[in-house]
Each structure stands twice: as structure tokens, then as C-alpha cells.
Amino acid sequence: MELLRAVVLLSLALLANGRDTDLSRDSFPKGFVFGTASSAYQVEGNSLKYGRGPCIWDTFLKFPGATPDNATANVTVDEYHRYMDDVDSMVRVGFDAYRFSISWSRIFRNGIGRFNKDGVDYYHRLIDYMLANNITPYVVLYHYDLPEVLNNQYNGWLSPKVVPDFMAFADFCFKTYGNRVKNWFTINEPRMMAWHGYGDGFFAPGRCTGCRFGGNSATEPYIAGHHLILAHAAAVQVYRDKYQRRQNGTIGILLDFVWYEPLTYTVEDEYATHRAREFTLGWYMHPITFGHYPETMRKLVGSRLPNFTAEQSKLVQGSADIIGVNHYTTYYVRHHENLTHMSYATDWQAELLFERNGVPIGRQVTILKSHHQRNKGWARICDSCMNTLHSGVLEVAVRGALGVLQGGDAREEQVQGPLDPHRREWDRPVGQRHATHALYDTFRIDYFDQYLHELKRAIADGARVTGYFAWSLLDNFEWRMGFTSKFGLVYVDRKTFTRYPKDSTRWFRKVIKSEEY
């Protein structure tokens, strides 16, 4: 068995090394940016050190069994101390940019008030070191990590009080770093925050109908989503009013773009597909473009969907210079009504599927299957809620990229600004003992190759795409998956924190620098 595995690994290695690509910088428009991405909580570690206050994830992860092996992000890959190594890796591959997020509770322990000098200085060091090495910073202000204090004080995103607090944090960051940071994103994936934080309890703060931390899946996701939009718009307004002219940067938001195709070409499934697009992308894109929620959502959610006042609507409309596209996968959609549960997940009356007539939509990548089998699923925070996205499979369906960038039947929703895909990566669990195996990431290379070809087609078709950010530079703390999901271009030894570049880094170097590996 071991021998067989060794032979298989060897052939994979040969395959990867022999792999060629016809892609290069010349395949993309002049100035096209290649980068990688991360988020503060997933890579920094030192979660309660150097004056940082706790965020909602620190509390949420104390729930026993929240992650495989009870993993926490207390240390994760220690980028707080090893940022120079990581920037050096980017330079070696030839990347132009790095997208990272700022931990709100590292800057303001209590969400507001006095700033924490150690935290502020950390981002000064990181930004300066990046710039000294020609790596352009793309900075995200919020990536799932609300200061715990604000959750205790007023229920975080459920209260309108979060809007001025986020605005003050954003203002501080523009003032402090904006002389060097020219690319800002306010919030990463507000839908994930609203849905998993308040709709199915899968993410911190773990709320849903029937959840042990309380909640209401029928109303809270929409309330949290509303405040996320208002906080985003308020931060954009501060940037535009006080800093943009002087600092000459751009600001936008990162949205998770899922592409949907009808399972059958019947009126029912076509309409269900439309609803799925509206409830996923339209929830955020529609207000940013038109100042109000999509008609479909207003009709189906009714009085549970908050309204924008005339003043808020004006603030929200047009509140992005750029849209970051985090694209995960593509699903088939079937009309399906769930009359027993009222929640964000059932309001669209749609069922998401990975197969049509037994044919998968793309290559399957199993997430956490072995963990599932061993632990019989995650310790559940709630028995009635669905953990649909993360308990099944993620499928590689690159054709969704084209649909997403062309806007499909949501064409009228395209923003006035270049699209900027910060793309998610496929996922393959690798045990620590299989480190060498992890380095031969042929599948990942295939994925990047297909994806970049698809992107090239979309650009030829007229999509205004300014860059491509691979998720992620490092194998890091993947939220509820702990350290079992490996999205990185670089493998990290969890004992020594030594970084080992995978074959995909060499593939990228070939594309970006036209250098042989």
C-alpha cells in the first residue's frame, strides 16, 4: 500500500514538473495585477497578545468541538512575526500585490476609543516592508472579526450602533495608512457574515433559530446584512469626503459571487435560478448599484427585509469604485419550496445541486470527509440548521467565472468600475504527515490554469478585470475547518512554522516572470 502510494506520488510529481502553460503576463492587459490574499484572523496569530482585544471568533471557538481537533487561531501561521518571510515568498514568485485585512480589535481593543499602539505599528511594519519590496497593499477593513466587546454591548451587526463605530475605525485606518495604501476594501463577503453568523450559526457569533447562542434565521440575517451595507457605505463616504482626493486611492467591497444555472430549462427552474442570483449577489450588488434591494427579495421576504430611508439609499447607491469578486463555485438550481422553516436559506425557494442527470457540474473536491467520518460531523450548534456549504463538496466549475464576469441576466447590475476578481481556491485536505504529498499540487495547478484561461476569455469579451488574487498564499486557519483545509500555495509545517513552497508557486512564477522552475 505504501509502495503504491509512493509510485503514485512520484508520477504526480513528474506530471507537475513537466506541466507547461501557454499563459504569461502578455495574456492579460497591461498593468494586470497578480497577487495572493489572506485575512488577519486566519494568519496573524498572537490573537490575544500585543494589546489585541478578543473578536467574536475567539469566543465562538471556545465552544468544544467547534473545529476539528479543537484548533484555534491563537497562533495559526504566526504572520505577525513572520511577515517578512511571507513577503519574501511573494517576491520570489513574482507577485505584484498582497491583499490582507486589518484586525479591528488589534487597532481598537474595545472596538472604539483609544488605539493600541502595538497593533497600529504592526501594520506600519507590514505595509512598509511590502512597499520596500514592490508588493502593493490591498487592504480589507473587515473580514469576519468583529470586536467581541461590540457584540456584548449591542449585539454587533444586529444593531445600527455598529455603523458609526465601523466608520470611526475606517476613518482611523485611512488617516493612518492611506498615505501608502491606495487600494481599500471595506468588508469581505457580507453575505457570508450575515448568513453564517446569523442564519445558520456556522460562523461567529453562531446565531440562528434554535441555536444555543440565540437568534432568528428568518429575520437576523437581513438585519445584519442591512447594517453591513450601511457600514460599508458610511466608510466609503468618509474616504471620499476626507481622503480620496488627497490620497488618490480607490475603495470598494468584496462580494462572494456564486454562479447558478437552471437544472432544467423550465420556467420554474429558470425563475428559481434568477432568485438564487438575487439572494446571493443581488442582496448587496443591487443596493450598491440602485440604492434598494432587488424586487424579488422585497416580494419574498416582505416586512422582514429592512428598508433604506431616502437618505440611506443615496449613501449606498454608487458606494464602490471597484468590486472584488470572490468566486467559489457553480451550482445547478431547482425550484423547491420549504414550507416548514422560514429562513434566509429557504426564502429563495431553491435547491442547489452539483449534478444534472448524474453528471457532476465540475470536478469534485471533498472537504473534511475523513473528519466527518471520524467525528460524525461537527459538534452541532443547532440541530435544525443546515450547514450546506461546508459539509458537502466544493466543485471546481470554472465556467462560472465567465458567467459571473459577464453579469449574466444580472447584466444591468454591473457597477461603474473595473471588476477585480479575488478568487477563492479549491480545497484538498492533507494530513500533516503527508507534507511531501501536499507539495505536488497538480490539481491546484490545473485549476489555476483553467481559471486564468477562462478569465482571459472574459476579458476578451469585454469584462474590465484589473487583477487576479489567488486564495491563499499560505495554508492557514480555515475557520470551522481549522487547519484541515489547505488552500495555500505554500505549505506551513505546524510545529516549526517553516514555509514550503508547493509546485503551484513555480507554476505562477513561470506565468508571471516567464522563468523556468
Q: Are 167 and 239 in contact (CB under 8 A)?
A: no
Residue placing its CB nearer to ligand NAG in the complex, 250 or 504: 250
Q: Which of 38, 216, 330, 343 binds ligand NAG (CB under 6 A)?
A: 343
Closer residue to ligand NAG in complex, CB, 341/428:
341
For ligand NAG, the closer CB: 14 or 48: 48
Strand boundaries in 236-289, DSSP class E: 250-262
Q: How far is the CB of 108 from ligand NAG (least distance, A)?
A: 18
C-alpha dist (Å) from residue 402 to 140, 398, 451: 25, 8, 9
CB of 65 to ligand NAG, least distance (A): 5
Among 365, 386, 435, 512, binds ligand NAG (CB under 6 A): 386
Q: Report the SS3 class of residue 250.
A: strand
Alpha-carbon torsion, ordered 61, 63, 65, 70, to 10 deg: 40
- In the bound state with ligand NAG, the residue whose beta carbon lies nearer, of 42 and 346, is 346
Binding string, residues 229-248; x marks residues near ligand NAG by CB under 6 A: -------------------x
Residue nearer to ligand NAG on the CB measure, 134 or 436: 134
Shortest Å distance, C-beta 305 to ligand NAG: 6
For position 432 contacting ligand NAG by CB under 6 A, the verdict is: no
Quick one: 54 or 407, whose CB is closer to ligand NAG? 54
CB of 298 to ligand NAG, least distance (A): 7
**Alpha helical stretches, state H, 414-502:** 435-439, 442-460
Q: Which SS3 state, helix, strand or coil, does residue 350 take? A: strand
Distance CA 515, CA 506 (A): 9
> Does residue number 70 form part of the binding site for ligand NAG (CB under 6 A)?
yes
- DSSP-derived secondary structure letter, 64: T
Residues 35-64 that bind ligand NAG (CB under 6 A): 48, 54, 58, 62, 64
Q: Closest CB to ligand NAG among 337 and 515? A: 337
Closest approach, Cβ 107 to ligand NAG, in A, equals 18
Residue of minimal Cβ distance to ligand NAG: 64
> DSSP label at 116?
-
Please give the Cα distance from 16 to 507 (Å, whole number).
Answer: 9
Total chain residues near ligand NAG (CB under 6 A): 22
* Cβ nearer to ligand NAG, comparing 52 with 327: 52
Q: Tell whether omega for the bond before 11 is within 30 degrees of 0, i.e. cis.
A: no
Residues 72-111, one symbol each (x = binds ligand NAG by CB under 6 A, - = not), give x-x-------------------------------------
H/E run at residue 369? helix 369-375
Report, in Å, the least distance between residue 216 CB and ligand NAG: 13
| Site pattern 271..310 for ligand NAG (x: CB under 6 A) | --------------------------------x--xx---
**Cα-based torsion angle of the residue sequence 245, 249, 251, 255 in order, rounded to the nearest 10 degrees:** 160
- 486 closest CA partner among 441, 421, 423: 441
Give residues with Cβ within 8 angstroms of 299, minimum separation 6.
Answer: none
User: Which residues, other chains included, contact 306 with Cβ-Cβ below 8 Å and sequence gap of 6+?
Assistant: 222, 223, 226
Distance, C-alpha 456 to centroid of its chain:
22
Name which position in 230, 276, 345, 352 contacts ligand NAG (CB under 6 A).
345
Could you give the CA distance from residue 502 to residue 428 in angstroms, rounded to a whole number? 13
The yes or no reply on residue 388 touching ligand NAG (CB under 6 A) is no
Q: How far is the CB of 385 from ligand NAG (least distance, A)?
A: 6
The answer to whether 331 and 261 are in contact (CB under 8 A) is yes
Contact 92, 20 (CB under 8 A): no
Query: Within 323-342, which residues bind ligand NAG (CB under 6 A)?
Result: 338, 340-341
Stretches 65-73, 92-100, 114-122, 319-327: which one binds ligand NAG (CB under 6 A)?
65-73
Under 8 Å between Cβ of 154 and 223: no
Q: Name the minimum Å distance from CB 442 to ligand NAG.
A: 31
CB of 243 to ligand NAG, least distance (A): 13
**C-alpha–C-alpha distance, residues 256 and 280, integer Å:** 8
In the three-class reduction of DSSP (H, G, I as helix; E, B as strand; rest coil), residue 504 is classed as helix
- Measured from the CB of residue 401, what is the shortest distance to ligand NAG in angstroms? 26
Q: How far is the CB of 61 from ligand NAG (least distance, A)?
A: 7
Residues 365-384 that bind ligand NAG (CB under 6 A): 384
Q: Which residues contact 424 (CB under 8 A, 6 or more apart)?
A: 326, 327, 328, 471, 487
**Separation between Cα atoms, residue 389 and residue 378, nearest integer Å:** 13
Could you list the residues that contact ligand NAG (CB under 6 A)? 48, 54, 58, 62, 64-65, 69-70, 72, 74, 248, 303, 306-307, 338, 340-341, 343, 345-346, 384, 386
